[in-house]
Structure 1
Amino acid sequence: MSRLVGVLVLALAAGCTTTASGGGAPPAEAPSGLKVEQVVGGLSHAWDVGFLPDGQVLVTQRPGKLTLVEDGRATDLVADLDDVQPRGEGGLMGLVVHPDFATSRLFTTCQTSREDVRLVTWQLSPDNASAVRVKNPLLGGLPVAASGRHSGCRPTLAQDGALLVGTGDTAQGSFSQDLANLGGKVLRIDLATGAPLPDNPTPGSRVLTYGHRNVQGVAVHPRTGRVFTAEHGPDVDDELNLVEPGANYGWDPSRGGTEPGYDESVPMTDLTRFPDAVEAVWKSGDPTEAICGAAFLSGAQWGDLDGVLAVSALKGSKLMLFTLTPEGGVHSVAVPPELDDTRGRLRGARLGPDGALYVTTSNGTDDELLKVTRG
């Protein structure tokens, strides 16, 4: 059994269910002493961030640019991105740098093409000037909408080395509940091959969880290995979910196949249709925040924020700090004033090797890569 699945199974056996703090959570006093610095500006819809061993930062820009940031300068890599379709919510999206990058120089992106949403593995040149595709695709066939709506697509490495990928349902009513479809899921695959891992809940399937609407953030707790996802709701109920392997999270705008369109009036977690569906550990209620990237703060430098889950918000234009319970529920939520409608829409959120939180903005013009620390 993998470490990820094993940790979650043990947690569930001990009674740590996602219903511990379902619904909203009380606000907490805003933390003091946060410092926000611009690393670089002049970006466009900066989507995700990866860190290289030499201290440089790789950034994906949704219109179709791979950008290397060093010493406050942004340089676009020479790379074949002609097939990237930056329409609506799609384009060049999520990013992971491979753990063996120091020797392999590999990283993987998630991007929309005309035919699908796909994961592509790249190799960065020795001079850091260009990148070539070495697995194209690592995994293809994720559904895509002509408008780009609900494209997902957030890849993150689990503690056992598995690649976790949060996907969107592309606004197709039946996809989230269809286990043969890769939309509206959290996938668990082999980073090297794209194949399903042998200890996935269903043998031969890449699906770890299903019944999602549009997963935008995937975060792994640095000590427990628990996996949390941030997901967009329709006009209500963005969700923060704790991943339970094999579980259904209850989104079904097809109403069991009886609705030919995309009925967004259904609950995000439809317990009437799916009594065993997993409830969210937190939901926004009304209004939604359009929560997005997610990362755990970790290290003594964060003080009482060590272990807090930081989640960016697009519509809400804020950073949300979730204090979790030992059971994996949400105890309280704080919003630091330094990132409360001060930088516009916030998209990516990743913890850097220096212990700082790196956040991207997604306003469309003069977007930023921000570094957040606690003084």
Structure 2
Amino acid sequence: MNRTTATPAQHFSRRVRALALACSLMPALAACTGSPSSPGTAATPGGTEQQGGTEQQGGTASTGSGTADSSSSAATPASLQLKERLDVGLQLPWSVVFLPDGAAVISERDSTLLKEIHDGRATTIGEVPGVEPGGEGGLLGLAVSPEFASDRWLYAYFTSGTDNRIARMKLARDAGGRLTLGEPDVVFSGIPKASTHNGGRIRFGPDGFLYVGTGDSQRREQPQDTRALGGKILRLTPEGRPAPGNPFGDNPVYSYGHRNVQGLAWDADGRLWASEFGPDVDDELNLITPGGNYGWPTVTGAPARSGFLDAKVVWPSTAEASPSGLEIIDGVAYTGALRGQRLWAVPLSGETAGTPVAFFTAEYGRLRDVAKAPDGSLWVLSNNRNPDFVLVLEPRP
């Protein structure tokens, strides 16, 4: 699984292209079917870092080609049924998680507020202290403690005045049933910050440890340095220490060579997958191996170069993807596309990924996060619609 670089002309000539049909939401049926975006073939290499790989609003809304491993035999969903659209006045929502009682908690990047959605209504829980939003930074990823029923910890990744950091806060319900927010306890700090490439996704894995996706923070020397925190996936104890069994000893780094990881999810067999922003080309879906080097900034995509791990899916055009949140349901990986303004569904089969399928292309604008609710539905957060909303979807295999 190696990589080589290529010129733009070589990149174009090697690209396997097949149009994906844009799917539209039929008001009467409130359902959408997807069409394959490309034949599954080897992916193409990358180029230089440009604006296309940031979270900027814009880009084309047409469907495009994501290249993948053609050996996967898994099937994508036949449709995604729209169950509900929650217009609850959100402003730049970044992450959604669910409490054991079924309530959703959402972070708003720039307002630094946490909001609860329960029974179709949004209520402000509180403002997270110490957050200094700016550019792509602010109040970002959330994670619920695996022992929440007893410890009541909610974890948040956010940008402070000096760095990106992770704090945990107690959530409790008062006598009136409203959630209240305790004081933050910073468990991990020192992740580099910048106006872009701040990473920000956090999730607890099946092993009970906290996984953290970071960005290179525009410091291109960091991703290949296993002593640095930028451009990594980190693995921590709930208290913020390097988790036992990490590949580099007493070091929080789990994998490296990343550019900007904003999606983390596990399949049914416990394999970790991650979505990652490319520069002007080559957004990625990666299968994560402990200690693995995913190439940035030396290479991008899947060009089969010794010493680096290839992406399992590559979207050659960042205007079609710029993937943020990631969720896996019934063997299908769903990722929200920002510039691409669509929901991508990728069938998984073991360690391989099949042909990506696009849903809702240009229907709802930029899509930031996706998460599985306790009832099995898929929640999708819009981004930059002012106000933003939640799509509640039912995957139908």
Secondary structure at the counterpart of residue 165 of structure 2: strand
Q: Deviations over 1:328-364 (max 9, x none)?
A: 222111122xx22111100011111111111111115
Moved more, 89-98 or 357-366: 357-366
**Residue number among 319, 326, 332 corresponding to 2:355 in the alignment:** 332
2:323·2:335 contact (CA, 8 Å) conserved in 1?
yes
Q: Hey, what does 1:11 align to over in structure 2?
A: none
**Residue number among 321, 324, 327 corresponding to 1:295 in the alignment:** 327
Question: Which amino acid counterpart does residue 119 of structure 1 have in structure 2?
Answer: I
Q: Hey, what does 1:360 align to over in structure 2?
A: 381
Matched, 1:318 2:364: no
Q: Hey, what does 1:257 align to over in structure 2?
A: none
Q: Deviations over 1:301-329 (max 9, x none)?
A: xxxxx311111100011000001233x22
2:97·2:144 contact (CA, 8 Å) conserved in 1?
yes
Q: Hey, what does 1:131 align to over in structure 2?
A: 181
Q: Hey, what does 2:260 align to over in structure 1?
A: 214
Q: Deviations over 1:69-120 (max 9, x none)?
A: 1112111113442x21211111100001112212221110100011100001
Matched, 1:251 2:273: no
Q: Hey, what does 1:141 align to over in structure 2?
A: 190
**Residue number among 271, 284, 288 corresponding to 2:315 in the alignment:** 284
Normalised TM-score (structure 2): 0.77
Provide the rounded CA distance (Å) in 2 between the counterparts of 1:102 and 1:368: 28
2:365·2:385 contact (CA, 8 Å) conserved in 1?
no
- Judged with a 3 Å threshold, the aligned counterparts in structure 2 of structure 1 residues 29 and 229 are, in CA distance, closer, same or farther, namely closer
Moved over 3 A (4+): 269-272
Give the aligned length: 325
Secondary structure at the counterpart of residue 317 of structure 2: coil
Q: Hey, what does 1:47 align to over in structure 2?
A: 94
Question: Cα distance, 1:32 vs. partner?
Answer: 2.8
Question: Which amino acid counterpart does residue 324 of structure 1 have in structure 2?
Answer: L
Q: Deviations over 1:104-141 (max 9, x none)?
A: 21110100011100001010133234212352x11000
Secondary structure at the counterpart of residue 355 of structure 2: strand
Unaligned runs of 5+ in 2: 1-39, 44-66
1:164·1:187 contact (CA, 8 Å) conserved in 2?
yes
- Judged with a 3 Å threshold, the aligned counterparts in structure 2 of structure 1 residues 240 and 251 are, in CA distance, closer, same or farther, namely same
2:284·2:301 contact (CA, 8 Å) conserved in 1?
no
- Judged with a 3 Å threshold, the aligned counterparts in structure 2 of structure 1 residues 199 and 292 are, in CA distance, closer, same or farther, namely same
Identity across aligned pairs (percent)? Answer: 37
- Judged with a 3 Å threshold, the aligned counterparts in structure 2 of structure 1 residues 318 and 177 are, in CA distance, closer, same or farther, namely same
**Residue number among 275, 278, 284 corresponding to 1:233 in the alignment:** 278
Question: Using CA pairs below 8 Å that are at least 6 residues apart, which structure has the higher relative contact order?
Answer: 2
Matched, 1:179 2:200: no
Provide the rounded CA distance (Å) in 1 between the counterparts of 2:126 and 2:201: 23
Provide the rounded CA distance (Å) in 2 between the counterparts of 1:159 and 1:29: 24
Normalised TM-score (structure 1): 0.82
Question: Cα distance, 1:269 vs. partner?
Answer: 5.2
Alignment of 1:146-161 (within 5 A): 147=195, 149-161=196-208
Alignment of 1:8-157 (within 5 A): 22-23=42-43, 24-25=67-68, 31-32=78-79, 34-63=81-110, 64-81=112-129, 83-127=130-174, 128-135=178-185, 137-145=186-194, 147=195, 149-157=196-204
Q: Hey, what does 1:262 align to over in structure 2?
A: none
Q: Deviations over 1:30-51 (max 9, x none)?
A: 7235225213431111111111
Moved more, 364-373 or 115-124: 364-373
- Judged with a 3 Å threshold, the aligned counterparts in structure 2 of structure 1 residues 319 and 202 are, in CA distance, closer, same or farther, namely same
